[in-house]
Chains A and B, each alone.
Chain A
Amino acid sequence: MLHTFVAYVDDLPGVLTRVASLFRRLNINIHSLTVGRSERAGLSRMTMVCEASAEAGHRIRASLFKLENVVDVDDIGKAPTVTRELALIKVATTPQNRSQIFDLVEVFRARIVDLAPESLMIELTGVESKIEGLIEVLREDEGRILEICRSGKMTMRRGHHISSVLKAMGAGVDDKPEAGAEPAEALEESAGAEPE
C-alpha cells in the first residue's frame, strides 16, 4: 500500500541524504518526496510517499525517528488530509489547436503561465488523478506534450492537528511573511477550495 509521511527535519546539509538513504537501506522505493521550508525557523518540512507493506508504516516511522536530524514524523495513514501536487506541462501548439487547449485548461481549472509562438506552459495544481487526467487528454495528440515537471505530493492533515513533539517545542510559527509573497495570488488560492 501507499504510505505517506510528513516529517520536520533540520534544515542542514546532508539531511536529505540521510532520509533518502534510509529508504534505500530498507529497500523501499520513494514515489515522491517534497521538501521546503516550514513554519518553524531552521526546520524543513518533507512529504514522503512510498510503496510498502501495510505493517511497514510503524517501522519506517520509527526508523526515521532514529535519524538525529529528524524532529518529528507523522504517519498520515488514512487520516483526512488535503493533498496537492503541482505540475508544469509544456505543450506544442499551432494557431489551429491553441483555443482547444485553452478550453481544456479552463475545464481542469489550470492556468496558462507561458505562451510562446510554438508552445505554451500549463500550471495545474490538484490531486494526482486530476493531473493524470489532464496529461491523458493532452496525450491524445501524439507529440503534443514536450515536457512534464511534477512536484510530488504535499500533504497536510485537515483540522487543528499538532503532534506532541511540535507542541512540546512551543509555537514556532514564523509570522514574518516570505519576501516576495503576492497577496493577490494567496487570495486566489484560498478561493479555489475545490472538492477532491
Chain B
Amino acid sequence: MGTNATTQASNAHQAEPTRLTGAEIVWATLVGEGVTDVFGYPGGAILPVYDALRKFPIHHTLVRHEQGAAHMADGYARASGKVGVAIATSGPGATNLVTGIATAMLDSIPIVCITGNVSSKVLGTDAFQEVDITGITLPVTKHNFLINRAEDIAPAIRYAFQIAKSARPGPVLVDITKDAQQATAIFDFEAAKPRAVRPHPMRIIEESDLAKAAELIRTAKRPVILAGHGIIESGAEEQVRTLAERAQIPVALTLLGLGAFPASHPLNLGMMGMHGESWVNHAIQDADLLIACGMRFDDRVTGTTSTYATKAKKIHIEVDPAELNKNIKIDVPLAGDLREVLEELLPRISGRDGSAWLKSIDSIKGASAVRDIKNLPDLGHLYAAHVIHDIWRITGGNAIVVTDVGQHQMWEAQYYHHEQPRTLITSGGLGTMGFALPAAIGAKFACPEKEVWVIAGDGGFQMTSAELSTIAQEGIKINIAIINNGYLGMVRQWQEFFYERNYESTPLISPDFVKLAEAHGIAGLTVRTRAELASAVEQARSAPGAFLLNFKVEKEESVYPMIPVGNALHEMIRRPGKDALLENADD
C-alpha cells in the first residue's frame, strides 16, 4: 500500500483536471473505478506504471507467473462481483495472461488486463519483448485496446470497465505502449466517461412472448427450472426463488449455477449434466417444460442434443442473444437481463399445484439421494467424497471453495452443498487446470473475512503451485486440500471407461506436498485415513496462517454417474456393484 497515498495524483479522479503522466493516469483511473487490489508482475515495458504505483492507494500483489495474475483477478471478480484487474509487461508477460483471459471469457467473468507494450515508434518491428497481444487475445476477450497516446489511457480504461461488466460480462485487455505511459496528458476522470451502452436491438422482450411463457408455466405438468451462472451475474437469486416457490417448480443447477439457489431448499434437485445426479437428468428428460435461466445449454449439460428433453417446450431467458437457439431449439426466447425479465414475468405467474410432479421426482431419488455419507462405516479407505463431505460439514457450508479441474471438481459439486452465491469458484467453460490456487488468492483479497478453501487435484495443483510463494509473501490465510490420488484422475477415468484401462501418461509422481508447503513457510499435514480427517480439517482452520492438507485418497476411484460423450442425458454410467458410495438407491 502506498504510504504517501494522499497525494495530488491519487486524488486526481475527484479533483480538477490535472496533468499527469500516462502511468499515473492508469492508476488514477483505476482508483476512480473503485479498484483497491490488483495482481501483476513487472517488466520493462510496464515499468513506468510500476514506478507510479507508490503514489496511489492500491494494493499490488506480486504473482509468480502472469497466468496466476489473470486467475487472481478472475477469482476476485467471482467472489466479489466487482471487476478484477491484472497487470503484466509486454511479450511473455502478456502471453502468459492468455490462459487466464480465456478462462474468464468462457465463464463470462469481468476482468480488465493491463499490459505494457514497446514504444509506439518501434511497434511492429519485432522489438525486444514485443508481441501483438491485442491480435492474440482478440478471440478470447470481449474487446481489447492498443493505446499509444497518454490522453487515450483514461477513456480506454473506463470503457474497458464498462464493457467488462455490462450485459454478459467478460475480460477486456488494454495494451499501453511505453511512450504513452511516459508522456503526459490532462487527466479528467469525468470527461473520460464512456458513452452509455447502446441499446441492443436483439435484446427486446415482446409482450406476446411474456404471455406465452406465463401460459406455458401455467399449463405445464412437469416443469423444471434450469438455473445457471447468469442468475449470479444478474443478481436474480430472489426472482428465481420466487418463481420456483410460487409455481412449485423444481430447480436443476449447472456447475456454475451452484449457489444461485440454496442447496437445502426443498425444490433444489441438484446439479444436472455429465456428472449430475441421475434423478436430475431423468427429471429433465421427462419434463414437459424447461425454463432456462441464465444458462447456455453447454454440451456438458445436454448430452446429445438430438435426444435432449424431447418432450419439453423450452423457455430461455438469456442476456446474450447469440446463445438463443444455438445448441437447443427454443420455443420462447426471452433475450434480456434475467432479473429484469423475471421482474416482468413474475406478476403473470400465479400459484400452481406441482405436488404430483415433485412426488414423482422424489420417488426416483431414493433413500441415498441426500448423499449424507457421514454415517457410512469406515472401511479403511479414504475417499475424496469423505474429504469434501467433511470439509462441507465442518465449515458449515459457509466457506468459499475454489476448485481446480477434474474429478475433485465434480466431487466438490456433488458433496459440498452451496447455500449462497459466489461460494463456489470453479473454471467451468474452459476447464483450466491450475486455476484453484491463484483464483483462491484473488477470492481471499475480495473477501478477507471469509474462510477460503482450495480443493485441487495433485495434477492441477502442480501447474500453479509456485503461487504458494505469493500466499507466503502476502501472509494470507487460505486452506488448501489436495485430493492426491497419484493420477490425472479424470483422464484416467476416461482411459478406464473408453480406452481399455490403458493408463498412458496419467500416473504422476508428485513432490511431498507438505514439505513443499513447509519450504514456503506454510504448515501442512498428510492425511491417509478417515479417522484423521475431521481433526486435520479443524487443525487447518484453526491454524493462524495458510495450511495445506495432503489427502492420500483411493487411487482408482471414479466420478459417478457419468454420461459418456455421444449419449443421451439419461444414459448414464452407474457405479458398478454395491459400494459404500452408491449414488442412487435403485442401482
List the interface of chain A (C-beta within 8 A of B). Answer: 14, 17-18, 21, 25, 55, 58-59, 61-63, 65-68, 71-72, 163-165, 168
Binary interface encoding of chain B residues 320-344 relative to chain A, with 1 for a CB under 8 A from any of its CBs, else 0: 1110111000000000000000000
Known: A62-B324, A68-B143, A165-B199. 12 other contacts (CB 8 A): A14-B146, A17-B138, A18-B138, A21-B139, A58-B325, A59-B326, A61-B202, A62-B320, A65-B322, A66-B320, A68-B163, A71-B198
Please tell me which one of the listed residues A17, A18, A66, A164 contacts residue B201 in the complex, with CB atoms under 8 A apart: A164
Q: Is B193 an interface residue (CB 8 A)?
A: no
Residues of chain A with a CB closer than 8 A to B135's CB: 17
Please tell me which one of the listed residues B143, B146, B163, B322 contacts residue A62 in the complex, with CB atoms under 8 A apart: B322
Residues of chain A with a CB closer than 8 A to B320's CB: 62, 66
Summarize A's interface: helix, strand, loop or mixed: helix
Q: Is B11 an interface residue (CB 8 A)?
A: no
Known contacts A17-B138, A61-B202, A168-B199; decide if A66 and B163 are in contact (CB<8 Å).
no
For the complex, what is the distance from the CA of A72 to the CA of B321, rounded to whole Å?
14
Contact A65 B321 (CB under 8 A): yes
Distance between A167 CB and nearest chain B CB, rounded to angstroms: 10
For the complex, what is the distance from the CA of A145 to the CA of B200, rounded to whole Å?
47
Residues of chain A with a CB closer than 8 A to B59's CB: none
Known contacts A163-B201, A164-B201, A165-B201; decide if A63 and B138 are in contact (CB<8 Å).
no
Contact B322 A59 (CB under 8 A): yes
For the complex, what is the distance from the CA of A64 to the CA of B146, rounded to whole Å?
21
Residues of chain A with a CB closer than 8 A to B198's CB: 71, 165
List the interface of chain B (C-beta within 8 A of A). Answer: 134-135, 138-139, 142-143, 146, 163, 198-202, 320-322, 324-326
Residues of chain B with a CB closer than 8 A to A72's CB: 201
A-B CB contacts (within 8 Å), total count: 43
23 A-B contact pairs sorted by A residue (CB < 8 Å): A14-B134, A18-B138, A21-B138, A21-B139, A25-B139, A58-B321, A58-B324, A59-B325, A61-B202, A62-B320, A62-B324, A63-B322, A65-B200, A65-B201, A65-B202, A65-B321, A65-B322, A66-B142, A67-B143, A68-B142, A165-B198, A165-B201, A168-B199
For the complex, what is the distance from the CA of A65 to the CA of B320, rounded to whole Å?
10
For the complex, what is the distance from the CA of A58 to the CA of B320, rounded to whole Å?
12
Contact B139 A62 (CB under 8 A): no
Distance between B255 CB and nearest chain A CB, rounded to angstroms: 23
Residues of chain B with a CB closer than 8 A to A163's CB: 201
For the complex, what is the distance from the CA of A14 to the CA of B173, rounded to whole Å?
15
For the complex, what is the distance from the CA of A71 to the CA of B199, rounded to whole Å?
10
For the complex, what is the distance from the CA of A61 to the CA of B202, rounded to whole Å?
9
Counting chain A CB atoms within 10 Å of each CB, the highest count among B139, B146, B201, B324 belongs to B201
Residue of A nearest to B134 (CB): A14
For the complex, what is the distance from the CA of A63 to the CA of B146, rounded to whole Å?
22
For the complex, what is the distance from the CA of A163 to the CA of B198, rounded to whole Å?
14
Distance between A60 CB and nearest chain B CB, rounded to angstroms: 9
Residue of A nearest to B200 (CB): A65
Distance between A118 CB and nearest chain B CB, rounded to angstroms: 41
Residues of chain A with a CB closer than 8 A to B321's CB: 58, 62, 65
Residues of chain B with a CB closer than 8 A to A63's CB: 322
Distance between A42 CB and nearest chain B CB, rounded to angstroms: 13
For the complex, what is the distance from the CA of A55 to the CA of B333, rounded to whole Å?
15
Distance between B374 CB and nearest chain A CB, rounded to angstroms: 47
Residues of chain B with a CB closer than 8 A to A18's CB: 138
Distance between B384 CB and nearest chain A CB, rounded to angstroms: 37
For the complex, what is the distance from the CA of A161 to the CA of B146, rounded to whole Å?
36
Closest 10 CB pairs of A and B: A62-B322, A68-B143, A62-B321, A63-B322, A164-B201, A165-B201, A62-B202, A59-B322, A25-B139, A21-B138
Distance between A171 CB and nearest chain B CB, rounded to angstroms: 17
Residues of chain B with a CB closer than 8 A to A21's CB: 138-139
Distance between A129 CB and nearest chain B CB, rounded to angstroms: 33
For the complex, what is the distance from the CA of A62 to the CA of B199, rounded to whole Å?
13
Residue of A nearest to B141 (CB): A68
Residue of A nearest to B321 (CB): A62
For the complex, what is the distance from the CA of A71 to the CA of B201, rounded to whole Å?
10
